[in-house]
Chain A
Amino acid sequence: MKYLFMIMFALLGVASIFIWKTLPTSQFEGTTIYWVTDPNPARIEQIAIFQRWLKKDPNRPQDIRVLVDAANSRKEKKVIQGVSGVGGDTMDMGGGTDMRYFNAIGLIDPVTETAKKLGYDVSTTWEPIRPLIEQDGEQYLYPCNVAARILWVDYNQFDELEVERPPHRWDWDTFERIGREFVQKANVGTTHQERFMLDSIDTETMYRSLGLACFNETLTLCQLEDPRYVQALKKKYQWMYEDRIIPTAADQSAFDVEAGYGGPQIFLFGQGNYAMFGMGRYSLIRLRQIQQDRVDDGKPLMKLDVIEYPHGGFPVTRCNTRALGIYKGGKHKEKAKVFQSYLASEDYNMQIVRDADALPPNPKYTKTVAWDKPLPLLPSDTELIFPYDNDEKHLLADFRINFYEKLDKVDRESNWSIQDLPRPPKPAKLSDTEYQEALAKFDKLYNDSMPVYTSEWGMHKRFTDIMQNTALPADITPYCVPETVSMEIRNAEDVYINNMSTAEAAAKRAADRVNGEIQRTLIENPELKAQYDKAMKDQKKIEEFKKNGQKIPASLIQNPFYLRYYRVKGMLKEEE
């Protein structure tokens, strides 16, 4: 027995040495920055471009290496590791909600000064998302990308059924009329409804378009116990269960498909189950694949366009951002900020523009020709056509960057051809003739995907329009954890949708619970209480102004929604 134990421990010792020896070690001399983000293959290209961007200017520190840490991107992990002092140097987070939460914990470093110095302050990004990256005058984040929710529509589906095409801006009545007609004509002779007009609509967009925000002007009170919210809830219910324009949760999960990037909606949209779906510009990544498949199969392309959500009087949509913050406990904060400043650079922004990974953080780059008239990306088979050895991989990486740099500048109107652009270098494995064949194959693949991209020309400026004119971030109260708010509201709506309460009771439940949560937070946190009391005074003043029919001074209003709403309605007293 003794020997058995000894042998066991000896074996384990050997195993330990083995495991320890095989741990990947880094030979890198400089600073390693961890980037906690989602496992998107595009991150690798973005890092490659970053390395090149560093080299462009000798004043930038050269010894930085960025490693993607996709394994810790769940919020709880960021929090747990953050408060334990072992968070990642830079962390992606949803702007706004996450920022306020992380900031409340104290995890992210303010970057106002550095941002000014390195040229990535809030003025270099979209105006509507400013509340999402700054708080109390301090900038904390810089966006990796920016998205506004819009509706993607395939006009072909409407044309085939001879239903009127949805207009770019429409109200609820128009939506209902077109929707009913569409659903009726699209589902003739089926037992189970398989085709819907729209995948889903969230109540926030709906009640906001009636002029109601989740919180009041000073963000001190959840005001969802309001006839307008009830109206929105009932309308949504009607569209789902009576008009059947929008699928119910049961319909949706009956569709449940193997979801690729962006979720199942895009797939179902491509398949014709939905005539439109709501999502940001990043759906293009999948949509382009679907279009490409159609080209390959010889099918006609979808006639894509983007339109606004139907409105109840005040057109509005939600914008959000995935933004990068600097971890306060990080060891290399200054160098991490260099990486943050890269997000405002032309190199990075053009990559986002090309890749259609939502909107670039800096609106300047949506005024380029590459934005308006996109050209095909490198075929995904490039690596298969040109089989590089492992030590040649950098050739391909360099080529990609050069290629895209030229591609962005190509004059779309001129008679250009793919041969004018940088060519993939010759892999050592291929003979000359094989290389020529490969090039020809490459050219053909590239030209084949041209129609997919040219069909998008002219569409992209609508994103810019919507982002600038109708997009607004969610209103987030500082007096309560954002997750709790969304959870309580979701639960209340679930209860209503499941027929377990009336719409009025659901509205009351949502408001009561959120307000209860606010009061609880105030008891827990006396510092907030002072701020809250001050805001309550402002709120009283606002009520006074409203009662007397006077214009409301902008300085009193904290809620970005009401700032825009009152401005549009002419109820705002602007300050110089």
Chain B
Amino acid sequence: MSTKKNRTFREVATGLGFLTPNILGFLTFTTIPLVFSMIMAFSNWDLKLHNMFKPEASPHFVGFDNFQRLLSNSDFYKYLGNTLFLMMNIPFTIGGSLCCALLLSKDLRGGSKKSAMMIIASATLVASCIMLTLIGMGASAMTLLVCGLGCTFLVGGALGGSTVYRTLFYLPHFTAGVATYLLWKKLYNPRSGPINQTLNPILEQVGGVINSVPSGLIQAGLWLAIILIGAILFMGLKRLNTLWRDGDLGSGAIVLPMFFLMLPSVLACQWFPIQAARYSIAIVGGALLAVTLFMIISSKQEFDCKPSNGFGNALMLCLFLMVIQFVVIGLGIVAYKLPAMAAFTVTNGVSSGGLIAPNWLTEYHWAKPAIMVMGFWGAIGSNNMLLYLAALTNVPGELYEAADIDGASSFQKFWNVTWPQLAPTTFFIVVMAMIGGLQGGFEMARTMTNGGPAGATTTLSFSIYTEGFVTGRLGYSSSFAWVLFAMVFSITMFNWKFGSRYVND
């Protein structure tokens, strides 16, 4: 008996022994600050009032004052909105990563006759490009550069297989942080940046075309958008209805996904520039919703299930559709406004206007999309892609064989074999991306935009920083950070609770 006790003791001791180095550091640099910051969040600590030069004043507890003030502050919701807006590129980055991984997982090893031919062909191209560039071809040097670069990659890919592409895709990730932001700040420069230098000539042409066709034709884009949204809603609601009927989706779990699905059309009722469009979207959305609700209420589930069943699955689908709807709405509005933007106006004898590329980082409505594009570039080939790659190689080959025997098309194979197999990875990536998205934006704002224009790129974390270090309200800033933590925590728990069920399905 005593030996057993001894043994347990020894096991615990060894276990703790291994843990000691880490736990010491963890206590000092994580736990203590954590507790400290928790206390701060309930205090009125303000650098201006309480610091080493004012020993007589000491901060005191103020209960939930900080939280109350925070939650009643309209700026908080604005910054939360900004953060969520910037997070809308998550589905795209994840989709992009998945595409990259799918392509890279193909067997690309060279060595066959075909690839030898390709190498020779491409190398000739590269050589001719280099030669022409050296001789100096003026404006066409740019085209040569792009072609040459593309061909070089082709040669590299043919020689080195997927390793080369993988490294190339991973490139943006190397410049993570400040370097990326500085680079993109330069790329977005309205005058000397390459983005606008490329866009402006194109837009000039486009502007000419737009000016030459009747404006109504272009503005019809708005109506096309409404039709598209109707189609998306129809698909989404139908899917929800089917899921519900088949018992894959509980009655309780249908509410929130449906809300997110309908949200864009509700907001579009405010955003659309003309009355008729607002009414149409309201009618289309309302009618579809009404029909679906009627079908749900009037019929009965064919298979019984728990009310919370299938929540994660449906939510993810609806969030994805929501983001797509937002994009469609945005494009529709742009189409409506395009003729006015492309038209030339003459004021005070000076003509201005025409279609010109936006000043990405300094215009209120463009700053956020600009940041999102940058985020997409940085995230598409990053660790997410590697995670997907790893997961793809783990998919058992027999599953594909079985699918082949069933005569499944490649899309069916993807949808029925690959996608479910990738579910745990997707789940992990989504959770990490959401955590990162909620906490992110600080370094970007600090180096690129300083939170502007008019607060358009101020995210929650940047505002924690300004509250804490610029205005000096450490207590308030801490409470801010804890609210952010609460959000991240609840999202993660939420995902874990519902998402893991989806994963196990």
A484 to B455, CA, bound (A): 13
A191 to B204, CA, bound (A): 12
Any A CB within 8 A of the CB of B267: no
Chain A hits for B47, CB < 8 A: 79, 83, 105
A209 to B47, CA, bound (A): 36
Q: Which of A183, A249, A491 contacts B362 (CB 8 A)?
A: A249
Q: Which of A105, A184, A190, A255 contacts B348 (CB 8 A)?
A: A184
A83 to B344, CA, bound (A): 56
**A85–B52 touching, CB < 8 Å:** yes
Q: Given the interface contacts A104-B48, A484-B471, A495-B454, does A183 sit within 8 Å of B191 by beta carbon?
A: no
Any A CB within 8 A of the CB of B347: yes
Chain B hits for A483, CB < 8 A: 470-471
Closest 6 CB pairs of A and B: A106-B53, A494-B454, A253-B359, A83-B51, A184-B349, A76-B469
Q: Given the interface contacts A250-B363, A257-B192, A494-B364, does A192 sit within 8 Å of B352 by beta carbon?
A: yes
**B190–A254 touching, CB < 8 Å:** yes
Any A CB within 8 A of the CB of B354: yes
Chain A hits for B191, CB < 8 A: 253-257
Any B CB within 8 A of the CB of A524: yes
Residues 350-384 of B at the A interface (beta carbon under 8 Å): 350-352, 354, 356, 359, 362-364
A37 to B472, CA, bound (A): 22
A106 to B471, CA, bound (A): 14
Shortest C-beta distance, B309 to chain A (Å), equals 44
Any A CB within 8 A of the CB of B189: yes
Which residues of B are at the interface with A, using a C-beta cutoff of 8 A? 44, 46-49, 51-54, 189-192, 344, 347-352, 354, 356, 359, 362-364, 452-455, 469-472
* Between-chain CB contacts (< 8 Å), 14 pairs: A76-B469, A105-B47, A105-B48, A184-B349, A191-B344, A193-B352, A253-B362, A254-B356, A254-B359, A257-B192, A498-B454, A500-B364, A524-B44, A525-B49
**A192–B52 touching, CB < 8 Å:** no
**A244–B192 touching, CB < 8 Å:** no
Query: Interface digits, A173-188 against B, CB 8 Å rule (1 contact, 0 not)?
Result: 0000000100110011
Q: Which of B354, B363, B455, B470 contacts A191 (CB 8 A)?
A: B354
Chain A hits for B362, CB < 8 A: 249-250, 253
Any B CB within 8 A of the CB of A236: no
Chain A hits for B470, CB < 8 A: 75-76, 483
Q: Given the interface contacts A242-B347, A250-B359, A483-B470, does A258 sit within 8 Å of B192 by beta carbon?
A: yes
Chain B hits for A101, CB < 8 A: 48
Chain A hits for B189, CB < 8 A: 256
A254 to B354, CA, bound (A): 14
Chain B hits for A106, CB < 8 A: 51, 53-54
Q: Which residue of B lies closest to A194 (CB)?
A: B350
The winner among A192, A257, A328 for most chain B CB atoms within 10 A is A192
Q: Given the interface contacts A250-B363, A253-B362, A256-B191, does A481 sit within 8 Å of B350 by beta carbon?
A: no
A107 to B348, CA, bound (A): 53
**B190–A80 touching, CB < 8 Å:** no
Q: Which of A76, A184, A253, A500 contacts B350 (CB 8 A)?
A: A184
A183 to B349, CA, bound (A): 9
Question: How many residues in A have their beta carbons less than 8 Å from beta carbons of B?
Answer: 45
**A491–B454 touching, CB < 8 Å:** yes
A414 to B359, CA, bound (A): 55
Q: Given the interface contacts A249-B359, A254-B191, A256-B190, does A183 sit within 8 Å of B350 by beta carbon?
A: yes
A495 to B54, CA, bound (A): 39
- Counting residue pairs across A and B whose Cβ atoms lie within 8 Å, the total is 102
**A107–B471 touching, CB < 8 Å:** no
Query: Interface digits, A59-87 against B, CB 8 Å rule (1 contact, 0 not)?
Result: 00000000000000001100110011100
Shortest C-beta distance, A510 to chain B (Å), equals 13
Any B CB within 8 A of the CB of A211: no
Chain B hits for A427, CB < 8 A: none
A104 to B247, CA, bound (A): 64
Chain B hits for A187, CB < 8 A: 349-350
Shortest C-beta distance, A154 to chain B (Å), equals 20
Q: Which of B48, B348, B453 contacts A244 (CB 8 A)?
A: B348
Chain B hits for A494, CB < 8 A: 364, 452-454
Chain B interface, >50% SS class: loop
A188 to B189, CA, bound (A): 27
Any B CB within 8 A of the CB of A553: no
Q: Given the interface contacts A250-B359, A328-B53, does A79 sit within 8 Å of B348 by beta carbon?
A: no
Which residues of A are at the interface with B, using a C-beta cutoff of 8 A? 75-76, 79-80, 83-85, 101, 104-107, 180, 183-184, 187-188, 190-193, 241-244, 249-250, 253-258, 328-329, 481, 483-484, 491, 494-495, 498, 500, 524-525
With A184-B349, A191-B352 given, can you name 14 additional A-B contacts, CB distance below 8 Å?
A76-B470, A105-B48, A105-B53, A106-B53, A183-B350, A184-B350, A187-B349, A193-B350, A242-B347, A254-B191, A481-B472, A494-B453, A494-B454, A498-B454
A75 to B352, CA, bound (A): 40
Q: Which residue of B lies closest to A184 (CB)?
A: B349
Chain A hits for B472, CB < 8 A: 79, 105, 481
Shortest C-beta distance, B175 to chain A (Å), equals 22
Chain B hits for A183, CB < 8 A: 348, 350
Shortest C-beta distance, A193 to chain B (Å), equals 5
A107 to B352, CA, bound (A): 51
The winner among B44, B54, B348, B469 for most chain A CB atoms within 10 A is B348
A491 to B451, CA, bound (A): 11
The winner among A193, A244, A524 for most chain B CB atoms within 10 A is A524
**A253–B190 touching, CB < 8 Å:** yes
Q: Which residue of A lies closest to B74 (CB)?
A: A513
Shortest C-beta distance, B447 to chain A (Å), equals 12
Shortest C-beta distance, B209 to chain A (Å), equals 17
**A242–B192 touching, CB < 8 Å:** no
A6 to B356, CA, bound (A): 61
Chain A hits for B347, CB < 8 A: 241-244
Chain A hits for B344, CB < 8 A: 191
Q: Which residue of B lies closest to A83 (CB)?
A: B51
Q: Which residue of A lies closest to B48 (CB)?
A: A104
Chain A hits for B349, CB < 8 A: 184, 187-188
**A192–B354 touching, CB < 8 Å:** yes
Chain B hits for A107, CB < 8 A: 53
Chain A hits for B51, CB < 8 A: 83, 105-106
Chain B hits for A104, CB < 8 A: 48
Chain A hits for B48, CB < 8 A: 101, 104-105, 481, 525
Q: Which residue of B lies closest to A101 (CB)?
A: B48
Q: Given the interface contacts A75-B470, A254-B191, does A180 sit within 8 Å of B348 by beta carbon?
A: yes
Chain B hits for A484, CB < 8 A: 471
Chain A hits for B364, CB < 8 A: 494, 498, 500
Chain B hits for A256, CB < 8 A: 189-192
Q: Which of A80, A254, A257, A524 contacts B46 (CB 8 A)?
A: A524
Chain B hits for A253, CB < 8 A: 190-191, 359, 362
Q: Which of B46, B53, B348 contacts A329 (CB 8 A)?
A: B53
**A524–B49 touching, CB < 8 Å:** yes
Shortest C-beta distance, A62 to chain B (Å), equals 31
Chain A hits for B354, CB < 8 A: 191-192
Shortest C-beta distance, B479 to chain A (Å), equals 14
Chain A hits for B363, CB < 8 A: 249-250
**A79–B469 touching, CB < 8 Å:** yes
Shortest C-beta distance, A322 to chain B (Å), equals 20
**B350–A244 touching, CB < 8 Å:** yes
Shortest C-beta distance, A147 to chain B (Å), equals 23
Shortest C-beta distance, B120 to chain A (Å), equals 44
A525 to B53, CA, bound (A): 16
Shortest C-beta distance, B397 to chain A (Å), equals 33
Q: Which residue of A lies closest to B354 (CB)?
A: A191
A184 to B348, CA, bound (A): 7
Q: Which residue of B lies closest to A75 (CB)?
A: B470
Q: Which residue of B lies closest to A192 (CB)?
A: B352
Chain A hits for B454, CB < 8 A: 491, 494-495, 498
A241 to B469, CA, bound (A): 37
A498 to B452, CA, bound (A): 13
